[in-house]
Structure 1
Amino acid sequence: MINYTLKCDKNHRFDSWFKSVEAFDMLINKSLIICSECGSTNITKAIMAPSVSTSRKKDEPRKEIQTKSKIKNDILELKKKIEANSEYVGNNFANEARSMYLGEAPERSIYGEAKADDAKKLIDDGIPVMPLPFLPAKKTN
């Protein structure tokens, strides 16, 4: 795993983890990394301070594992709640969200997939959407 500090063209900064340098490059080249503040897909690596090991950090790997485990459990809990209380609309997410916003479809909690440019258009139009930190059950084995 590799951690990068990233920034968008509006200088919003955020951190993200990637499986590898190659995984990051693939996601950035396909414009699949989106700024959560403005929806921009014009993302670059920001200057980061190096991570230097010291003797004080010997116990940190255990804490890091515990923290990652808690985060994983929290995400799983969030996924269960969303799947139990929301309608999965698949690739029709952007159209369905826009229809609800315009009053053309009944308002309800939905989740699904959208292309990066479609998600950005929703955000630009003031339609409240956000990426979820998991794949829907229908997309996992």
Structure 2
Amino acid sequence: MIRYALECAEGHVFEHWFDNMADADAQLALGSIPCPECASTEVRKSLMAPRIGQGKATAPLPSCAGPSCCAGACPAMAG
């Protein structure tokens, strides 16, 4: 699945999911994606910022059992 930001001829911007890039190009060429605001089928791909530089995922915080959790140094209790 791939998500694109789309823009109609009236300048309304919206997002739509497609199976793949070829599917998106085919549906846009056929005019089968209507704008949800004005129903225009004159729709094109809009500029979209790629999701890069996200880094590694952080580990979830441990579930806390109270002040005695983690020998009193529980990150979930920090505040």
TM-score (norm 2): 0.66
| Corresponding residue of 1:25 | 25
2:57 is matched with: 56
Query: RCO greater where, 1 or 2, for CA within 8 Å and sep 6 or more?
Result: 2
**Unaligned regions of 5+ residues in structure 1, if any?**
60-141
Larger Rg: 2
Can you list the C-alpha shifts for 1:60-84, whole angstroms capped at 9, x where unaligned? xxxxxxxxxxxxxxxxxxxxxxxxx
Change over 3 Å in CA distance of 1:55–1:44 after alignment to 2: same
Q: Which runs of 4+ in 1 moved over 6 A?
A: none
Q: More helix by proportion, 1 or 2?
A: 1
The amino acid of 2:47's aligned partner reads I
Superposition map of 1:60-139 within 5 A: none
Q: Give the number of aligned pairs.
A: 59
Alignment match, 2:41: 41
For 1:21 and 1:58, the matched residues in 2 are separated by 33
TM-score by length of 1: 0.39
List runs of 5+ in structure 2 lacking aligned partners: 61-79
Alpha-carbon distance in 2 for matches of 1:54, 1:3: 21
Cα RMSD for the two superposed structures = 1.9
